[in-house]
Chains A and B, each alone.
Chain A
């Protein structure tokens, strides 16, 4: 199950979720506490200069252990679905 996390307020995420028809949870980290704890802060990364998360994806198993992860080096380049699916299929 995907879980999306950003600094957006719950209302903003709820709009996005409804608009795109997503059914998985969207979590709000407005002060970037969790983003900081995961070492993913992109200081002043948003167009209006506030701190945001860098794009990153972690596939974790039931024990909370990372099985696959992806950090992009270019915000335009996002993870490949086939790599992710291969990693997901490897988890039993």
Chain B
């Protein structure tokens, strides 16, 4: 005799969804000072574990439907966490998809090519000028050229 009210709820899909959400949010960890290197992997791992937990919940709801309820909610939650996981994987791939054609970039021990570019006030400045010191200042011991993606 299957009494629907006596069936247990399973929290597994919700726990799984929470993990995939945390996985997506973990991409923001470097912004609060967390070391960036492990973050892509933490994010991917959390999301994958989340999906496994969601699938456990689905298996309970469908495979053991006399014990557990939640077929509908479990399916909806599974769809959401799958979407989130897809997003996480897409971002993981995209963030690492940097062209590897920098083989001819200046190597340690080589001299970098000189260049002249406008600074943020529009004045042209060359690398040679920067190396010999700006506006009568002491020449710097070294320069750190930071090429960055831009500000948006």
Contacts and interface: CB of A to CB of B under 8 A. Distances in A.
B66 to A, nearest CB: 46
Contacts of A78: 30, 36
Interface residues of A, number: 64
24 contacts: A3-B145, A5-B145, A6-B150, A6-B151, A10-B122, A12-B151, A39-B103, A39-B105, A53-B147, A54-B98, A56-B102, A57-B144, A58-B144, A58-B145, A58-B147, A59-B143, A63-B111, A65-B110, A75-B95, A75-B98, A76-B27, A76-B39, A76-B95, A77-B37
Given A4-B148, A60-B143, A66-B112, 7 more contacts: A4-B146, A5-B145, A27-B125, A38-B147, A60-B144, A66-B110, A75-B95
Interface of A: 1-8, 10-17, 25-29, 33-35, 37-43, 45-47, 52-69, 71-78, 84, 88, 91-92
